[in-house]
Amino acid sequence: MDVFDSVIKEIRETLPSLPLFEEEPMAKHSSFKIGGPVRAFAVPEDITSFSRITHVLKKNRLMPLVVGNCTNILFPDEGLKELFVISTERMTNMFLLPDGGIYAEAGVSLSKLSSFACQNSLSGLEFASGIPGTVGGGVLMNAGAYGGEMKDVVESVVTYYLPQQKLYETLNENCGFGYRKSAFQTIAGCAIVSAVFRLESGDREAIASKMKELNEKRREKQPLDLPSAGSAFRRPEGYFAAKLIEECGLKGYSVGGAMVSDKHAGFVVNTGTATSHDVYDLMMHVRNTVWQQKGIELVPEIIILSPEYKLTDNSPDAPLHIISGNPAASETDPLE
Ligand SMILES: Cc1cc2nc3c(=O)[nH]c(=O)nc-3n(C[C@H](O)[C@H](O)[C@H](O)COP(=O)(O)OP(=O)(O)OC[C@H]3O[C@@H](n4cnc5c(N)ncnc54)[C@H](O)[C@@H]3O)c2cc1C
């Protein structure tokens, strides 16, 4: 019996109805439809179950990987035999606050969040309605499209810091938001559990029509019929990755089952049989070619997990040093 066996046994005893899968293939969950099995995959439905799972993990010195809809991650074909994944996809509470803000848990999909805002005549989230991720993944990545970003609409974020088993609230200005970046990315063991969104009052019809227009644009330009993880590379300053890739003659270029989309060169798609190695090799070929021909370095936007990937606790004593000094930071133990 290894540490995972005993952890899984204890979690099953503590939370008998929790969906908890062993040797779960990540191809079943990732938008790329790629990835071998992880040791365990748990799907809590609220912060209490979430914290109970992490309590058992912490006792056994294990750090889980927290994911949302897995629309921005490439998992290795070999699987990750020492990884415990917690998905927030069932943590989907969402409601309107008395002051007009929207409270949404980490697993709420960005499309449901923007539809909810529209139903309540709140404008600002139209850009997010076609992004297939969740509030947790969207905030962590500062997801954005068509001129909007999460940083424009997030008022505050509640995180659960696993090493301390405590909740923290962080205001927008302390979230370290930048282009596809937030401070939460740099802190191992920092799980986003919910966020509050501050939006403008607007006209419901106009909001709905903007969302429709942006989603049509997406369908027209992006290869939504094939599995992918969205834009493969970040936008280099002053350029567009897709244009550079196309100018290098790489549209439609493939390695095994992975292909630079012939519809939108910024996307790498799985044509049916792609392995994570195919995607990785293709991305490296694209990167090298663009560097050789254009002298511009492309940096992956997709999170690529190697077979050796392990989560380590990188800041046990100063968990939130990046957002320390936040006057709004409050601590509560959800188990109390
Ligand atoms: C077809 C398609 C179109 C896309 N279009 C866009 C776009 O227009 N703009 C854009 O920005 N992105 C786009 N993406 C990428 C992706 O949808 C976004 O990055 C999204 O925000 C990721 O959310 P997720 O829930 O899927 O996160 P995941 O892929 O599950 O995770 C992404 C990262 O966030 C972490 N994470 C997830 N949830 C939590 C949490 N609760 N707490 C702590 N860490 C967490 C994960 O560990 C991982 O590091 C697209 C993807 C696809 C497949």
SS (H, E, C) 215-265: HHHHHHHCCCCCCEEEECECCCCCCCHHHHHHHCCCCCCEECCEEECCCCC
Range of the domain at 9: 3-87
If we measure between CA atoms, which residue out of 8, 145, 152, 18 comes closest to residue 83?
8
Q: pLDDT digit string (tens) for 196-246? A: 999 999 999 999 999 999 999 999 999 999 999 999 999 999 999 999 999
Q: Do 81 and 102 belong to one domain?
A: no
Mean pLDDT computed over every residue of the chain: 91
Mean pLDDT within 191-197: 97
Residue 43 included in any domain: yes
Task: Give the whole-angstrom CA distance, residue 28 versus residue 18.
Answer: 18
The H or E element that residue 4 is part of is: helix 3-14
Task: Give the whole-angstrom CA distance, residue 16 versus residue 299.
Answer: 43
Residue 220 included in any domain: no
Task: Give the whole-angstrom CA distance, residue 214 versus residue 152.
Answer: 18
Q: Give residue 317's pLDDT band: very low, low, confident or very high (50, 70, 90).
A: very low
Determine the distance separating the centroid of ligand 1 and the alpha carbon of 133, expressed in angstroms: 5
Residues in contact with ligand 1 by the CB-under-6-Å rule are 31, 65-73, 88, 106, 131-134, 136-138, 140-141, 143-145, 191-192, 224, 228-230, 303
Task: Give the whole-angstrom CA distance, residue 92 versus residue 111.
Answer: 12
Q: Do 108 and 235 belong to one domain?
A: no
Residue 209 included in any domain: no
Task: Give the whole-angstrom CA distance, residue 80 versus residue 159.
Answer: 25
Tally of CA atoms within 13 A in the half-sphere of 230 that contains its CB? 22
Q: Do 23 and 109 belong to one domain?
A: no
Residue 334 included in any domain: no
If we measure between CA atoms, which residue out of 247, 243, 288 comes closest to residue 266?
243
If we measure between CA atoms, which residue out of 199, 59, 45 comes closest to residue 120?
199
Q: Is pTM beyond 0.75 here?
A: yes
Q: How many domains does the chain have?
A: 3
Q: pLDDT digit string (tens) for 12-64? A: 999 999 999 999 999 999 999 999 999 999 999 999 999 999 999 998 989 99
Q: Do 279 and 243 belong to one domain?
A: yes
Q: Which CATH number covers residue 273? A: 3.90.78.10
Residue 124 included in any domain: yes
Residue 335 included in any domain: no
Q: Which CATH number covers residue 24? A: 3.30.43.10
